[in-house]
Every structure is written in structure tokens, then in C-alpha cells.
């Protein structure tokens, strides 16, 4: 299981402390912030984009990331593949599914999944799924995570679980948990970006 240390709340310096703790998979939700941190931190970091990717930011983001967790439309997937072909680079992505309906606005509705899985891609590999559970009790999250696992195929990556629900996500088979606040709680205020 991989812990992705989410650095969106903190400075470059604070993000770098994760490397000393042995966490070298780092995640950012905004592409521009990922670009900035990737330029400032050692090249040994494996970067994960975990938030929305605008199509005009694909070109600059692709060379920097190990895994894009947040592919939420067919159009985006097509655009990523086109750019990957242009850059002659293979990229792994996860499809972000919205399994909790109205209460959670990000991710692709589940009924669009068949269309996406039948797409022919040349340089993009759909490696698994990502989801965010709605803010609710642990058992409510469990149902969402179990559903994601049941939709996936053997060997698929499952990016699920954040500070509030990672224990349940691990029990339900997460391969990647995305931890932000829990890693940086107690950090000095001058390192906080927000």
C-alpha cells in the first residue's frame, strides 16, 4: 500500500520533511502548485495529481507525474492520450468515480464508466479507480469503498481514503491512501500555506 502525502496545505520546506520520513509519493490537487513544488523538491519525489486537470495544463503536467488519480471525463482521457502520444510517454491514470451522488461533486458518474473502458488508448493505461467518500460516518464510507473495489478488476489500483476515513479504506482494499491534514497536524503555522 502506498501513502500519498498530500502537500497542498504546506510550504515546500514542510513538504520536504515527508521525504525524511520515508514518504516519497507526494500529491497535489492543483496542477500549478504541483509544477511549483516539483521544481523545488528533489527529483526523487514521485508526484501524484489528485485534483482536477484542465486540458490546457496536460502538456506541462504529464512529464512530472507518476500517476494521475483524477480523470473524470472521456474528453480529458482523450486529451491526455493525445498529449502522451505527442510526448512519446506512457502515462498511468485512475478514473475518478463519483459513487456518492449529489453529496460529492467531483468525479465521473458511474453510468459513464462503460463508455470510458471501451476507449482505445495508445499511450495511456487505465490502472484503476479513485474515489472520495462523502463526509459521513465510517460505515457510510465503507459502502462507497467496497463498491469501488467491486467495480475494479484484479490488480487494479484503488486510490481511496483520506485523513477522516483511511482506516476503513485500507480494510476495504485501498492500494493508495491520500493523507494531508493528519500528516501535518501540529506543524508550525509559518509553514502552512492557508
Ligand X SMILES: *Cc1c(COP(=O)(O)O)cnc(C)c1O
Residues making contact with ligand X (CB under 6 A): 6, 8, 29, 50-51, 132, 162-164, 178-182
Given the complex with ligand X, which of 105 and 122 has the nearer CB atom? Answer: 105
Minimum Å distance from CB 42 to ligand X? 22
Minimum Å distance from CB 131 to ligand X? 10
Given the complex with ligand X, which of 123 and 191 has the nearer CB atom? Answer: 191
Minimum Å distance from CB 62 to ligand X? 19
Angular region, 88: left φ>0, alpha ψ -120 to 50, beta rest: left
Q: Beta strands 46-49 and 65-71: pairing type?
A: parallel
Given the complex with ligand X, which of 80 and 160 has the nearer CB atom? Answer: 160
Minimum Å distance from CB 22 to ligand X? 18
**Three-state SS sequence of the chain:** CEEEEECCCECHHHHHHHHHCCCCEEEECCHHHHHHHHHHCCCCCEEEECCCCCHHHHHHHHHHEEEEEEECCHHHHHHHHHHHHHHCCCEEEEEEEECCHHHCCCCEEHHHHHHHHCCCCCCEEEEEEEECCCCCCHHHHHHHHHHHHHHCCCCCEEECCCCCCHHHHHHCCCCEEEECHHHHCCCCHHHECC
Minimum Å distance from CB 88 to ligand X? 29
Closest residue to ligand X, judged by C-beta, is 180
CA angle 55, 122, 108 (to 5 degrees): 45
Given the complex with ligand X, which of 34 and 179 has the nearer CB atom? Answer: 179
Given the complex with ligand X, which of 65 and 179 has the nearer CB atom? Answer: 179
Given the complex with ligand X, which of 89 and 193 has the nearer CB atom? Answer: 193
Minimum Å distance from CB 100 to ligand X? 13
Amino acid at each position: 500500500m502506498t501513502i500519498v502525502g498530500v502537500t497542498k496545505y504546506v510550504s515546500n520546506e514542510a513538504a520536504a520533511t515527508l521525504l525524511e520520513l520515508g514518504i516519497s509519493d507526494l500529491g497535489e490537487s492543483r496542477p500549478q502548485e504541483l509544477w511549483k513544488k516539483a521544481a523545488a523538491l528533489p527529483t526523487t519525489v514521485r508526484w501524484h495529481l489528485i485534483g482536477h486537470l484542465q486540458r490546457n495544463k496536460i502538456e506541462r503536467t504529464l512529464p512530472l507525474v507518476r500517476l494521475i488519480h483524477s480523470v473524470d471525463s472521456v474528453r480529458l482521457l482523450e486529451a491526455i492520450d493525445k498529449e502522451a502520444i505527442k510526448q512519446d510517454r506512457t502515462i498511468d491514470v485512475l478514473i475518478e468515480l463519483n459513487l456518492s451522488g449529489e453529496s460529492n461533486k467531483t468525479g465521473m458518474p458511474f453510468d459513464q464508466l462503460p463508455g470510458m473502458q471501451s476507449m482505445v488508448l495508445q499511450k495511456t493505461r487505465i490502472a484503476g479507480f479513485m474515489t472520495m467518500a462523502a463526509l459521513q460516518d465510517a460505515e457510510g464510507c465503507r459502502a462507497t469503498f467496497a463498491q469501488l473495489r467491486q467495480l475494479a478488476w484484479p490488480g487494479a489500483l484503488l486510490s481511496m481514503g483520506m485523513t477522516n476515513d483511511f482506516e476503513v479504506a485500507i480494510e476495504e482494499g485501498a492500494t493508495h491512501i491520500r493523507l494531508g491534514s493528519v500528516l501535518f497536524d501540529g506543524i508550525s503555522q509559518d509553514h502552512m500555506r492557508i
